[in-house]
Structure 1
Amino acid sequence: MGEITRILKTFIGYLKRPDLYPELRRKIIKNTVNRGNAFKGKEKTNSWAAERAVSQKEAVSKLFGFEIDAFRKDYQKILMNAAQREKECPVKMGGPGALELIYYACEFANAQYVVETGVAYGWSSLAFLLSLGKRNGTLYSSDMPYLAQDGDQYVGYVVPEDLRVNWKLFRFADRESLPKIFAENAAFDVLHYDSDKSYNGRTWAYEELYNHLKKGGVFISDDIGDNSSYQDFCEKNNIVTTVVEYEGKYIGVFIK
């Protein structure tokens, strides 16, 4: 799909959804007035992250006290089926991330309630639900509709039907989804951020999510090297964070 066609399809998709007009206004501002903020502090944060980065295996052992090898063995069949589902999906979205980090964060926190932003194929959702299902816990997910790809029906495509009973999916931008989620449940054991990559979008969401994280809960943010929002947030709140290097990108994680 060409860039102009994608932009037109996205714009028309927004026009058909009045409930998404607030996000359309924010996107226009982000891509015009605030365009320079998207990568604010990127160079600074990448140097900062590189100095302290550890592997996923080290992070899970240090923070949560688990060895990660069991995850792939215990859920081999489910993960293989999920990978096959991804291959068959006609719409291309983001692939799997640091699934062990997500799963063992849930196990460590004995999580009952989790909130994540960003779903795509549903790999992170799958990792969360594998843990939450043991305790009949609930995953609350926020994910924008895929307006340019006609891909709405494929969001969460890799999540098996039997795990969906513990899943509540909110199909709006974070600024609309999160208040709805917090109205249903105010305190969470694990938070995972993987949506709006802009500096301003992250800064707003980090504060909102942190305020709803229980003491002793786990905070995870993907792609923290895009700009300095995560580093600035941690420094502002005197948070000592672990940085995980995974497939050439950086993930931030800390226990509140």
Structure 2
Amino acid sequence: MSEITRVLKTFIGYLKRPDLYPELGRKILKNTINRNNAFKGKEKANSWASSKAVSQEEAITKLFGMHSGSFKEEFQDVLKYSEEREKECPIKMGGAGALELIYYACEFSKAQHVVETGVAYGWSSLAALLSLKERNGTLYSSDMPYLGQNGDQYVGYVVPEDLKSNWKLFRFADKESLPKIFTETSSFDVIHYDSDKSYDGRVWAYQELYRNLRKGGVFISDDIGDNSAYQDFCENNGIDTTVVEFEGKYVGVFIK
């Protein structure tokens, strides 16, 4: 599919969904007037993240006092199932991230309520749900419809059916989804951010999510090297964050 065709299909998809008009307006502003702001402070952020980065295993031990070595062995069957599901999926979405970090954050906090932004195949959702299932907890997920790819039916594709009873999926942009989620539950044990990568989008979401994270809860954000939003957020709030280097990218994580 050409870029022009994809953009046109996406625009038409928005026009068919009046409930998404607010996000359409934000998208237009982000890609025109605010276009240069998306990667604000990227060079600074990468230098900062690189100077602090540790491995996923080191972070799990340091923050949670746990060892991540057993995750892939304990869940090898479900992980194999999910890998096969991804391979057979007819559209391409974001791949698996730091799954062990998410899983052990939930185990450490004995999570009952987890919120994530960004779902795609559902790899991060899977990691959280594997922990939540043991305590009959709930994962609340915010994910925009895949308007340009006809991909809505494949969101969360790698998540097995037996885990979906612990999952509530909100199919709007974060600015519409998160207020709905916070109406249902106002205190969360783990937060995982992996949606709007723009500087302004992160600044807004980080504050909203942090406000609803309980003391002792875990905050995780993917791709913090895209711009300096995460670095600025941590510095402005006096947060001593751990940075994880994972497959050439940086993930931020801290305990509130």
The TM-score, its normalising length taken from structure 1, stands at: 1.00
How much does 1:100 deviate?
Answer: 0.2
Number of the residue aligned with 1:37:
37
Structure 2 distance, partners of 1:174, 1:12, is: 21
Structure 2 distance, partners of 1:34, 1:231, is: 20
Structure 2 distance, partners of 1:95, 1:249, is: 13
Number of the residue aligned with 1:203:
203
How much does 1:69 deviate?
Answer: 0.8
How much does 1:184 deviate?
Answer: 0.4
Number of the residue aligned with 1:52:
52
How much does 1:175 deviate?
Answer: 0.1
How much does 1:224 deviate?
Answer: 0.1
How much does 1:82 deviate?
Answer: 0.1
Number of the residue aligned with 1:74:
74
Number of the residue aligned with 1:102:
102
Q: Which runs of 4+ in 1 moved over 3 A?
A: none
Structure 1 distance, partners of 2:45, 2:167, is: 34
The amino acid of 2:84's aligned partner reads Q
Number of the residue aligned with 1:136:
136
Number of the residue aligned with 2:16:
16
Number of the residue aligned with 1:26:
26
How much does 1:10 deviate?
Answer: 0.3
Q: Which runs of 5+ in 2 are unaligned?
A: none
How much does 1:63 deviate?
Answer: 0.3
Map residues 185-200 of structure 1 onto 2, 5 A cutoff. Answer: 185-200=185-200
How much does 1:62 deviate?
Answer: 0.4
How much does 1:118 deviate?
Answer: 0.1
User: Could you give the per-residue CA deviations for residues 131-179 of structure 1, whole angstroms, max 9, x where no partner exists?
Assistant: 0000000000000000000000000000000000000000000000000
How much does 1:205 deviate?
Answer: 0.1
Number of the residue aligned with 1:115:
115
Structure 1 distance, partners of 2:66, 2:41, is: 33
The amino acid of 2:17's aligned partner reads R
User: Could you give the per-residue CA deviations for residues 211-256 of structure 1, whole angstroms, max 9, x where no partner exists?
Assistant: 0000000000000000000000000000000000000000000000
How much does 1:124 deviate?
Answer: 0.3
Number of the residue aligned with 1:217:
217
Number of the residue aligned with 2:89:
89
Structure 2 distance, partners of 1:65, 1:151, is: 39
Q: Which SS does the other structure have where 2:225 is aligned?
A: helix
Q: Which SS does the other structure have where 1:39 is aligned?
A: coil
Pairwise CA RMSD: 0.3
The amino acid of 2:205's aligned partner reads A
Q: Which SS does the other structure have where 1:4 is aligned?
A: helix
The amino acid of 1:239's aligned partner reads I
Q: Which runs of 5+ in 1 are unaligned?
A: none
